[in-house]
Each structure stands twice: as structure tokens, then as C-alpha cells.
Amino acid sequence: MAEAQPLSRDEFVAALRGLSIRYWDSHPFHTRLHLGGCAPGEVRSWVANRWYYQRHLSQKNAAVMANCPIPAVRRRWMERIAFQDGHDEGEGGLGDWLALADAVGLSRDEVVDERHVLPGVRFAVDCYVTFCRTKPWEEGAAAALTELFSPDLMADRMLAWRRHYDWIKPDGFAYFEKRIPVVRRDSGDTLDLVLTHCVSRTQQEAAIAALSFKCDVLRSMLDAIDYNGPIR
């Protein structure tokens, strides 16, 4: 049986962007978080659990690179690891996330030792890393396209937190302030990579499924955080 015709570029982009309805910004926990309805312990739980995701970003990005045979793509993707890990200990996205932990009243030790990381969060993140290790690099890249939806959410988060959670120290916003312009750039690069290298209908459908899977990973993290309640 002949393979279906590839989607046009516009159809493919529309299918990818259409998955914004599955993104975690509409999750009840995020809605409550941005409306000021979360107790301090719930904010701390979100930060402590999201650390587990942050800590694994460079590993999943390295997995995408390891699966990719194209040097030019690897060079572009390598910048993500440098941003997240920094050049020295305590720098980069991880360092800024620990500053956020300080700002919401968590000790660095309790974040780094992951005592608050929930089984559901651990399972979801581990599944994402395994996906990027075992799937073609194009699908790992497509899964990262949640960054199409994240800059506006991060900007809204900063505004909402400043409005509703004045107990959070201002230093904690460094991660979002630095990440927003970077992710806007990265999202365009990633979309271009996916459009360029996913040319058959099978590849396109796999890319769409990969992005859908990533949305499920993020929402599953919030399911666990919301169900478990605040850190006490």
C-alpha cells in the first residue's frame, strides 16, 4: 500500500502548532498557579519537582545529538547544553533554577537531593529521556517543539508571580528572564529542522506524535504535583 502524500509545509506547521491545546498551560494546576491560588508549599513543590526535569534537559539533548549523524545539526543543538549547564558549576539554567529555589524558600540541598521529587514526575521525565535516546533524532527534536508554546507562558508566569506571590524574592526570576529570548530563538531553529528533515508523511506523523507525547509528559508532571499537594 502506497504511503500517503506528505503534508504541505503549511499543513505540517498547522498540525504541530495545533497541539498547543494539549500543552500544560491549560492544566488546572497552572491555571491556579497563575491566578494566585497556590499556597507557598504548592509553589515550592512545583519548583522542586521541575528541578528533576531541568536536570535532565542536557541529557536528553545529548541523546538527540548522539542519534544525529549531521554535524551542522549537532553544532546547533550543542548550544542548548551549554545554556543549561553553564561553563562552570552554579552557572547556566541549572544555576538559575537553584536561585529560584532559594527565592521560594527551598534549600539547595533539598532540591539537589530530590527528596521532594514525586514518583509520577520521575516516571514522566525518565520516559522523555528514554524516548530521546531510543527514537530517531528528528523525533527527539520534534518533541522539543513545546518551546513553540513556552515563551508566552513564561512571560505570563513572571507577571503573575510578581502580582500574586510577593513573598518570592526577585532574584528568582533570572531563569525566566534569560530563557525567554533563548527559547524564542530555539523554537524557530527547531521548527526549521523538523520541517527540513521530516519530509515523508510517515516522518511528519511521527514528529506530530512526538510533540503530542511531550505535551503528555508535561501534563503528567502537573497531575502528580497537583494530586500530591504542597510541600509541608
Task: Quote the DSSP letter at residue 226.
Answer: H
Alpha carbon separation from 200 to 11, 61, 115, 132 (Å, rounded): 13, 24, 45, 20
In the prediction, which pLDDT does 87 show? 83
In the prediction, which pLDDT does 3 show? 76
50-84 tens-digit pLDDT: 999 999 999 999 999 999 999 999 999 999 999 99
* Positions of the chain with pLDDT under 70: 1-2
Task: Quote the DSSP letter at residue 172.
Answer: G
In the prediction, which pLDDT does 1 show? 58
In the prediction, which pLDDT does 91 show? 80
Domains and CATH numbers, the chain: 9-227 (1.20.910.10)
In the prediction, which pLDDT does 232 show? 74
Contact 87, 95 (CB under 8 A): no
Amino acid identity for residue 97 in this structure:
W
143-170 tens-digit pLDDT: 999 999 999 999 999 999 999 999 999 9
Output the DSSP codes for 26-82: GSHHHHHHHTT---HHHHHHHHHHHHHHHHHHHHHHHHHHHH---HHHHHHHHHHHH
